[in-house]
Amino acid sequence: MTELFIRLMRKPQGFVGVVLLALIAAACLFGPALAPYAPEKIDFLGRFRAPGWQNWLGADQFGRDILSRLMVGARSTVPLAFIATFVGSAAGAIIGVGSAYLGGRTDEAIMRTNDAVLAIPGLLMALLLVSTLGNGAGNAVIAIAVAFAPGMARVTRSAALNVRNQDYVKAAIARGEGAPWIIFREMLPNVMAPIVIESTIRVSFAIMLFATLSFLGVGAQPPASEWGLMVADARQYMHQAPWGLIAPSAAIALTAVAFNLLGDGLRDALNPKDER
Amino acid sequence: MTLAWFARRLMLTLYTVIVVSMLVFAITQILPADAAQSLLGENATPDALAALRAKLGLGDPAWLQYSRWARHVFTGDFGISMRTSLPVGPEMLAALSRSLLLTVSAILVTLAVAVPLGVVAALRQGRLTDTGVSLIAYLGVSLPEFVTATLLALLLADTLHWLPATGYVSPLEDFGGGIRHLALPVLTVSVILVAHVMRMMRSETLDVLKSDYIRAARLKGLPERTVLFRHALRNALLPVITIIALDVGYLLGGVIVIEEIFAIPGIGRALMIAITTRDLPSIQAGALIMAATYAVTNTFADMAYAFLDRRIRYD
């Protein structure tokens, strides 16, 4: 573990990713305590105040401090995207490993159906589910998790196919272990590397998807300071206050970049042979 | 590409469309405890609820509801819009044609930009150009469509006044105006696609350049130009077909947001309107048409790939 971390920090992608993520994690943990103002504090004299010493990143249409809203909003954006990815990845990984374990025609049938589900674009799937379950952040998380599962199942299954033919799995079958033991104790731990890499990169998709759902009005609801919602709000006033638009956009992009970098860094750290 | 492979691939596409239709139907009509209630909202009168339940046949078992719907869809009848009282099918297909105009233009722009950039990045691996190109690619994939769209509109429409911010003009009626209105949405879609295709093109070119036949071509004394264009590029381009086809699914999701922002009456916007007005037949039609378009595109891509790369023999 320590060795892996050192290898990760040696690569520029890994290093920058880890540093950015540490900052984001700090904002999630201590954001409300560090924020200079309350996120919903209205100041009518400070409407559309340009970035300056009073509001470092400017103020929005109600004079609310954008930096404070971003710092508090980190909580309602990043952890939710993380949970959605985790649940979706776990479900997908179990489907993928299970399918590879069963093999043969069952595997074929599961994967063909899985590929068919993949034909529904992620955003469309999430939108359909949210429109059925009802608007809101919680339902958006469920929708993203469901939308992610088939993609993860595919990635996991291709890794698990190799593991399926390894001697230790054959040995487990020979000594009469049950399917759950083989899937969870023998196969799953040995396909963790690709799963971790793929899900790290997927967190950045989840953040974007979650922000997009909020932007379209079906995810987080006002007055939450979720980042996608902040962009949607600021769009109406982009002539008067472009900073209201740029600050949350940059926050989304930075977080997505951070997870992308970490994913790439992890890929290098976990596969030392691959120099590309 | 044998006939058997061809038939199998078509069967697979058919299977995909059937699974997708079941899923779309299940999510929109079967999953809600009472679809009529969720369609009409909380203030609906009991009479209106009963009438809608009877109209949708919500009392019937799920498989019967589905088979009734599927039979109609199979004959091209997607039902009547609850919002406009017009048939849904023709409206959705007209919207799809506008979305396809947007996506195809974006793919063409992407190819024109991303392929040369990817090759240049590969040829200058590790140097400043490569790093710069890779950084831009990173940013491209890390910005959601709505952010890219909004920032580009802020820059090109609001600040510089080069392009109209929203709206759609059919290029068939007014070619210049149509192109000008399409420019911003196409640019937005391309930013994301370029990032993808460029990364792919870069790594493929690097792989190909390391291969034995490139070494052989060089040792034969062929000029570097010939090696690059006749040998390397042709092989590096093949996987780009696949990645573009896979991106079409992503694109069709992306058009939902982009059409919403730029007010383009395409299928994505039609779907968003259907979702916000709870127009069930339109939601079902829009979702199914989108997913089917993706399935068909992927089939074509697989066929093109198999046709171009004769080494591939699917069994």
Pick from A123, A128, A256: which is nearest to B27 by CB? A128
Strand partners, B87: B80
State the smallest CA–CA distance between residue A172 and chain B in angstroms: 31
Strand partners, B80: B87
**pLDDT above 70 (res B311):** no
CB contact at 8 A, B118 and B197: yes
The pTM score is 0.84
The B residues from 77 to 136 touching A (CB cutoff 8 Å) are none
Token digits of residue B182 = 């399409």
Are residues B146 and A276, on separate chains, in Cβ contact within 8 Å? no
Pick from A124, A246, A256: which is nearest to B142 by CB? A256
Are residues A120 and B32, on separate chains, in Cβ contact within 8 Å? no
pLDDT grade, residue B33 (50/70/90)? low
* A256 or B56, which is more confident: A256
> A32, exposed or middle or buried, with CB in 10 Å at 0-12, 13-18, 19+?
middle
> Which range (A115-129, A165-179, B165-179) has the least confidence?
B165-179
Cα-only R_g, chain A: 22
CB contact at 8 A, A52 and A59: no
| Distance separating alpha carbons of residues B215 and B121, to the nearest angstrom | 20
Nearest CA in chain A to B252: A121
Q: How many CB atoms lie within 10 A of CB A202?
A: 26
Are residues A217 and B276, on separate chains, in Cβ contact within 8 Å? yes
State the smallest CA–CA distance between residue B173 and chain A in angstroms: 31
φ/ψ of B80, rounded to 5, equals -105, 135
What's the number of CA atoms in the CB half-sphere (13 Å) around residue A7? 14
pLDDT digits (tens, 9 = 90+) for B203-250: 888 888 788 888 888 888 878 777 777 777 777 777 777 777 777 777
Residue range B188-198: average pLDDT?
83
CB contact at 8 A, A254 and A188: no
Strand partners, A59: A65
Residue range B134-151: average pLDDT?
80
Are residues B291 and A119, on separate chains, in Cβ contact within 8 Å? yes
Residue range B178-204: average pLDDT?
81
Token digits of residue B43 = 């203030």
Mean pLDDT of chain A: 81
All residues of chain B having their beta carbon less than 8 Å from the beta carbon of residue A129 are 27
State the smallest CA–CA distance between residue B255 and chain A in angstroms: 10
CB contact at 8 A, B115 and B133: no
pLDDT digits (tens, 9 = 90+) for A70-118: 887 788 788 888 899 999 999 999 998 888 888 888 888 888 888 888 8
**pLDDT above 90 (res A139):** no
φ/ψ of A59, rounded to 5, equals -130, 160
What pLDDT was estimated at residue A272?
Answer: 54
Pick from B20, B28, B272: which is nearest to A119 by CB? B20
Cis ω on the peptide bond leading into residue A121 (within 30° of 0)? Answer: no
ipTM beyond 0.85? no
* A179 or B158, which is more confident: A179
Angle between helices A122-133 and A137-164 (to 10 degrees): 130
* B127 or A263, which is more confident: A263
Residue range B140-149: average pLDDT?
81
Residue range A114-132: average pLDDT?
86
Are residues A115 and B16, on separate chains, in Cβ contact within 8 Å? yes
Pick from A211, A218, A261: which is nearest to B144 by CB? A211
> B124, exposed or middle or buried, with CB in 10 Å at 0-12, 13-18, 19+?
middle
Strand partners, A65: A59
Largest Cα–Cα separation, chain B: 85
Residue range A19-35: average pLDDT?
79
Token digits of residue B174 = 């007014």
pLDDT digits (tens, 9 = 90+) for B63-117: 888 888 888 878 877 777 777 778 888 888 888 888 888 888 888 888 888 888 8
Nearest CA in chain A to B259: A216
> A87, exposed or middle or buried, with CB in 10 Å at 0-12, 13-18, 19+?
middle
All residues of chain A having their beta carbon less than 8 Å from the beta carbon of residue B144 are 208-209, 211-212, 215, 228, 252, 256
Mean pLDDT of chain B: 80
Nearest CA in chain A to B12: A112
Pick from B147, B154, B276: which is nearest to A252 by CB? B147
Q: What angle do CA A198, B19, A188 make, to 5 degrees?
A: 30
What pLDDT was estimated at residue B34?
Answer: 67
pLDDT grade, residue B315 (50/70/90)? very low
> Which range (A151-155, A209-213, B54-58) has the least confidence?
B54-58
What pLDDT was estimated at residue B313?
Answer: 53
* A251 or B32, which is more confident: A251
**pLDDT above 80 (res A211):** yes
By C-alpha distance, which of B82, B149, B145, B92 is closest to B265?
B92
Residue range A109-134: average pLDDT?
86
pLDDT digits (tens, 9 = 90+) for A158-202: 888 888 888 888 888 888 888 888 888 888 888 888 888 888 888
**pLDDT above 90 (res A28):** no
What pLDDT was estimated at residue A274?
Answer: 47
Are residues B143 and A212, on separate chains, in Cβ contact within 8 Å? no
All residues of chain A having their beta carbon less than 8 Å from the beta carbon of residue B151 are 245-246, 249
Are residues B249 and A276, on separate chains, in Cβ contact within 8 Å? no
CB contact at 8 A, B77 and B89: yes
All residues of chain B having their beta carbon less than 8 Å from the beta carbon of residue A232 are 146
Pick from B12, B150, B291: which is nearest to A120 by CB? B291
